[in-house]
Amino acid sequence: MYKHIFSSVFLAIIGTSSFAQNAPTIIPIETRQNVLVLQTDKENHLGITYFGKKLSQATEYKLIPSQSRQRDGNAGIYNSAYTPAGTWNVSEPALQVTHGDGNKSLDLVYVSHSTAKENDNVSLTSIVLKDPVYAVEVTLFYKTYFQENVVEQWSVIKSEEKKPITLEKYASANLYFIAKDYYLTHYNGTWAKEMNPEEEQLTAGIRVLDSKLGTRANLYQPPTFSLSFDKPATETEGKVLLGTLAWSGNFKMEFEVDSYHNLRLIAGINPYSSEYPLASKQEFKTPSFIYTFSENGKGEASRNLHNWARKYRILDGEGTRMTLLNNWEATYFDFNEAKLSELFKDGKKLGVDLFLLDDGWFANKYPRNSDGAGLGDWQENVKKLPNGIGYLVKEAQKTGIKFGIWVEPEMVNPKSELYEKHPDWVIKQPQRPEHYMRNQLPLDLSNPEVQDFVYGILDKLFIENPDIAYIKWDCNATTFNPYSAYLEKSKQAQSKLYVDYVKGLYKVLEKLRTKYPKVPMMLCSGGGGRVDYEALKYFTEFWPSDNTDPLERIFMQWEYSYFFPSIALSAHVTDWGKQPLKFRTDVAMMGRLGYDIVVSHLNEKDLQFSQQAVTNYNAVKDIIFQGDLFRLVDPKKNDYAALMYVTKSKSKAVLFSYLVGNRNGDGSDTPIRLEGLDASKNYKVKELNLYPGTKSAIKEDQVYSGEYLMTAGFNPVVNARRTSVVLEIEAM
């Protein structure tokens, strides 16, 4: 009784319409090509009736029947737009709460919706749902990027109950698809083996993709997938959705083929050990689930995401990127001022823009001479760098090169002064032995003092050295023994830790970007252990993997390229792998090019080649960063790989092709049909990055129509003697 009185007061205050309605409310969430149609049923529950290509007459959306209701005679059990737990809907929930009085039931009915246009391209639809009994309100947000066909979806959960409620599960998105069959491509891996794809046909039941690793959340699995409808999509054909969760922590994505062979998708923060208390009048905003859909295959879908990411998400996504020389693999922890000064000169000789000083420059009581000590003590090591970072920045500048630096501010080695001073800042179970990854532990970023400390590391570096031009931000350990002394002391639930850690990280990054909006920063996590679109609001690029073997990178970068544009992908020429320098360079040129080699070990021809390659890269990098990507020949299915980037005006393109299989070394014995060119334009094709002393098999003077190149095709002539080929294609 009490509950009923309370809820009607609650409703009166926010002045909503009555719950009972006759005509269904239809809410189409539209982009240029697609639509998600939401519709209320007779009990005002909001369901999804359609997802896919949009209709030209929006009035016809009302004709679409709700599949599960039709067959069930029941109120949309499966197709709920945000499934509440504990009442009439008994399928896997999107939102599950425990009320202040301990009751676990939740119902959500439609109240109102509105759409606000941010500009010609971006609109935000918000839909208010409410529990008729308990004072819990949910607003579903759908931000549409019309031209790019991208939808960003999240929810805000609010309670006006007197006592705190507990969010047991709080997904970002709940979608519903109707197709003949469903094919899910997801990724697995570990350190140096990131992004191995597996495609499977989904069968009845729930398929889960998740992470419980905390800090280095994506070590084994990223929050990205592609989902094909009816049959597996190819690059150019088929219905496909690319989806990703913008969250740098534990995630859970559930794909449920229901009793009617329709597909329910629930994606969000992993509720594992993360019950989240919500006080009266507080709001909880879930992270964004971002997706795009195409009826024309994975190529178009990924270009949608690239266009969106460059324009709306990645920091400086429409800008450019610097080339660099990194010293990690050249020196590891073993360097001093004299050695570094030589490396600055090497960088200058090579022609790169920046020198990036990696791990090992800090800590004195426990010097950072290996990964076993010093993490947390961010003072220059006086033995290696007696004159400090300031001196290095100046030396680099004198040489004509910019200076960047590596940090791993979220972590601590037990062998450090920081650990000795602040053991309560460390995530660890007080009564259990510590468990390490790479001899280190994460700091407790749920603690505001720790947030200030982490911010302070970067702030101090920039205040003392305003000319620092680049940051590599690393994060090498997952979260074991999750426990926060801060949450304990401030009488907050331990189950907040996983979520508050990530929120704390974003607070630090937000503050940093407010003061230092432009400095390029690389997002690294022992390789690709943290790659997501929330972090990329603050970072200009990410480190896909410590594995820089170019053969491996062809496969890995291919998979990353479904979700992230090349401008965000760091790729370095190193000594990994057995391929020649040219091959290694060509592969690294498909991203933000860097070097991690001992330049002084290069022979004369190698040096000459590399210098020319940097010049070539500077001339074409904007095509690679901002152009449309076409994956032409899949290395997983062929002995060679080919892909190309084309400018929006279709006047310039760069094509990369590589021999990846060596059973017979035949390579490209037939022409490849190019894509993305203008059929009516004429083009010339020129080979780039020729190794000194070699001749191209390509005739530079020949003129080809775009039609010819895209229909008859062009053979880059990759074979055992020419294992990698880069072509510049230019309209005349």
Sheet harboring 468-473: ordered strands across?
541-542, 521-523, 468-473, 402-407, 354-357, 324-326, 592-595, 570-573
Residue 222 CB, nearest approach to ligand GLA (Å): 16
Nearer to ligand GLA, 85 or 356 (CB): 356
- Cα 559 from chain centre: 12
Nearer to ligand GLA, 130 or 584 (CB): 584
Among candidate residues 131, 377, 500, 546, the one labeled active-site is 546
Rounded CA-CA distance 665/419 in Å is 55
Residue 369 CB, nearest approach to ligand GLA (Å): 12
- Classify burial at 78, counting beta carbons within 10 Å of its beta carbon; exposed 0-12, middle 13-18, buried 19 or more: buried
Question: Cα-flanking dihedrals φ and ψ of residue 307, to 5°?
Answer: -60, -45
Residue 329 CB, nearest approach to ligand GLA (Å): 8
Nearer to ligand GLA, 406 or 609 (CB): 406
Among candidate residues 41, 258, 353, 474, the one labeled active-site is 474
Residue 592 CB, nearest approach to ligand GLA (Å): 14
Nearer to ligand GLA, 411 or 655 (CB): 411
Instruction: Give the annotated binding-site residues.
Output: 191, 358-359, 438, 472-476, 524, 546
Contact residues for 655 (Cβ-Cβ < 8 A; gap 6+): 632, 642, 643, 644, 674, 716, 725, 726, 727, 729
Nearer to ligand GLA, 500 or 541 (CB): 541
Question: Cα-flanking dihedrals φ and ψ of residue 684, to 5°?
Answer: -115, 150
Residues that bind ligand GLA (CB under 6 A): 328, 358-359, 371, 406, 474, 476, 524, 526-527, 543, 546
Residue 191 CB, nearest approach to ligand GLA (Å): 8
At position 20, the amino acid (one-letter code) is A
Query: What's the alpha-carbon Rg for the chain, to the nearest Å?
Result: 27
546 is catalytic: yes
Nearer to ligand GLA, 476 or 668 (CB): 476
Place of tokens 């940090």: 407
Closest chain position to ligand GLA (CB): 359
Find the helix or strand (DSSP H, E) in which 46 lies: strand 46-53
Find the helix or strand (DSSP H, E) in which 151 lies: strand 150-159
Residue 360 CB, nearest approach to ligand GLA (Å): 7
Instruction: Give the annotated binding-site residues for substrate.
Output: 191, 358-359, 438, 472-476, 524, 546
Residue 352 CB, nearest approach to ligand GLA (Å): 17
Rounded CA-CA distance 23/21 in Å is 6
Nearer to ligand GLA, 68 or 547 (CB): 547
Rounded CA-CA distance 5/476 in Å is 53
Cβ-contact 335, 384 below 8 angstroms: yes
Angle, helix 448-464 to helix 388-399, in steps of 10 degrees: 50
628 is catalytic: no
Residue 545 CB, nearest approach to ligand GLA (Å): 8
Residue 328 CB, nearest approach to ligand GLA (Å): 5
Paired tokens of 667: 């390579």
Cβ-contact 386, 336 below 8 angstroms: no
Pairing of strands 724-731, 682-688: antiparallel
Cβ-contact 401, 344 below 8 angstroms: yes
Place of tokens 């240029």: 32
- Cα 14 from chain centre: 38
Buried-state track 516-531, b at ≥16 Cβ within 10 A, e below 16? beebbbbbbbbbbbbb
Beta strands in 532-676 (DSSP E): 541-542, 570-573, 592-595, 628-633, 640-646, 652-659
Number of helices followed by number of strands (H, E) in the chain: 14, 35
Paired tokens of 627: 């152009």
Widest pairwise Cα distance in the chain: 89
Nearer to ligand GLA, 332 or 708 (CB): 332
- Beta-carbon-side half-sphere exposure of residue 266 (alpha carbons within 13 Å): 27
Cβ-contact 19, 7 below 8 angstroms: no
Nearer to ligand GLA, 84 or 374 (CB): 374
- Phi-psi group of 605: left, alpha or beta (phi > 0 → left; psi -120 to 50 → alpha; rest → beta): alpha
Report, as residue numbers or ranges, the catalytic residues.
474, 546
